Structure 1
Amino acid sequence: MGIMGSPMALNLIKAGCDVTVWNRTKSKCDPLVGLGAKYKSSPEEVTATCDLTFAMLADPESAIDVACGKNGAVFGISSGKGYVDVSTVDAASSILISKQIKDTGALFLEVTSRYTKKLLLS
């Protein structure tokens, strides 16, 4: 729940959406929980209970860990669900996360790397 995640979650709450939050630092979720968001204790729990999950992490290592590491998103997500990665990652990291998510039958959308911009422009 950093610079991007907190405002996005807040806007979704204000719009009446059902929002579930998680952060490596739990206290960063507290203001949003106070406004009605639900809290889950791992990315796995978030993806198990939500149809659409947004991930916003500052570096490739964190993005990979949250998606694929212990209690990562891939362990809770399944077919019919979606994972939108708005993290700051390189092409190789995005491809790795995409493969892991897609192998579960879920959909994957990555929207920030130079790799995606190239794909969108070609």
Structure 2
Amino acid sequence: MKPKIGFMGLGIMGVPMAANLLKAGYPVMVYNRSPEKAEPLVKQGAGLASNPKTLARAADVVIAMVTGPEALGDLLWGPDGAGGAFNHSKVFINMSSVSPRYTRELAVELEPSGVTFIDAPVSGTKKPAEDGTLVILAAGPQDKVKALEPVFLAMGKKVVYCGAAGQGSMMKMFINLLLGVMMEGFAEALNFGRLGGLDMDAMLDTVFSGAMNSPMFQVKAPLLKENHYPAAFPLKHLAKDCKFVVDTAFELGAPVPMGQVLLHLYQLGWAKGWGDEDISAIARVLEH
């Protein structure tokens, strides 16, 4: 018998992830601060909870996919928070992007409730979420992660076990640092070539024909060509993650000079009003 899933957070990622759980045959109840976002899922058979606590009481496995620590804290510990319904029979999976330090502190805060806590952010954006091809970066008790694989594989194509709680978030920071470096580098190189008189199609052909080819470059190239950036991963969210990277690096004594530069550039893009556009809108920052 499939466990009952409670899914909190119905944004760009949450809606398709919850939809894939429904498609896989899981009973799903959802909660979102703006309940209208739940309507497509309710039409597909999801239940709708009036608050996080009601959702957590009804579910065996509670999943959160929200924008960061503040939103997650509200869901868990705010009025009618889900944390008040946690006990030893339940599992809580945080799939939101938060810092490793926050995750470790959350694990300590949750421990008295007896709930099994899994730290499982994802690598992938809107399209992989829709296609069910996310990479799940899972951390926590290894036997529990293994037991939850069918749930994870309803939303993704692979589960990478990262270690104790906090290490999933650390892996997320690692991969998003690389993502930021690659995205900014691609946009910077194309802008450099454009100002040097190179044709955009010729530059892309050069990249795609050699060792520098990348699936991410393939996906982002049309946006850069058209100077149109519908969000698959909003720029403001990568700016937030860059701050987590820089803060974590400071705690670790890890040099991240590119991380520092990325934080500045993505914050600048956010300040200029492009925060809700895709991360590839970093090109706008470089052009101004």
Q: Tell me the TM-score normalised to structure 2 length.
A: 0.39
Q: Is 1:72 paired with 2:81? A: yes
Q: What is the SS of the residue equivalent to 2:15? A: helix
Question: What displacement does 1:104 show?
Answer: 0.9
Q: In the alignment, residue 93 of structure 1 is paired with which amino acid? A: Y
Q: Percent identity of the aligned residues?
A: 32
Q: Which is worse superposed, 97-106 or 10-19?
A: 97-106
Deviation track 1:83-108 (CA, whole Å, cap 9, x = no partner) reads 00011112332233323332211100
1:17 matched to 2:26: yes
| Deviation per residue, 1:26-79 (Å, 9 max, x gap) | 000111011100011111111111000110111111111111222111111211
Structure 1 residues 43 and 100 mapped into 2: Cα distance closer, same or farther (>3 Å)?
farther
Query: Which stretch of structure 1 is more off in the superposition, 71-80 or 96-105?
Result: 96-105
Larger RCO, structures 1/2 (Cα 8 Å, 6+ apart): 1
Higher helix share: 2
1:27 corresponds to which residue?
Answer: 36
Q: CA RMSD in A?
A: 1.8
- Counterpart in the other structure of 2:102: 93
The AA in structure 1 aligned to 2:14 is G
My pick for the range that moved more, 93-102 or 70-79, is: 93-102
- Hey, what's the Cα distance between the residues in 2 that align with 1:68 and 1:24? 14
Counterparts of residues 1-122 of structure 1 (less than 5 Å):
1-112=10-121, 115-117=166-168, 118=170
TM-score of the aligned structures, taking structure 1 as reference length: 0.87
Which AA in structure 2 matches 1:88? S
Further displaced range: 39-48 or 92-101:
92-101
Residue aligned with 2:113, SS: coil
Query: What is the deviation of 1:22?
Result: 0.2
| Paired letter, 1:21 | V
Q: Does structure 2 conserve the Cα–Cα contact (< 8 Å) formed by 1:18 and 1:37?
A: yes
Question: Where does the alignment leave 5 or more consecutive residues of structure 1 unmatched?
Answer: none
Gaps of 5+ in 2: 1-9, 122-136, 138-165, 172-288
**Which stretch has the larger CA shift, 63-72 or 46-55?**
63-72
Q: Aligned partners of 1:66 and 1:6: how far apart in 2?
A: 17
Query: CA contact under 8 A between 1:68 and 1:97: conserved in structure 2?
Result: no
Give the length in aligned residue pairs. 118
> Could you say what secondary structure the match of 1:103 adopts?
helix
Work out whether residues 63 and 89 of structure 1, in 8 Å CA contact, stay in contact via their aligned partners in 2.
no
The alpha-carbon deviation at position 111 of structure 1 amounts to: 2.0
Q: Distance in 2 between matches of 1:67 and 1:91?
A: 18
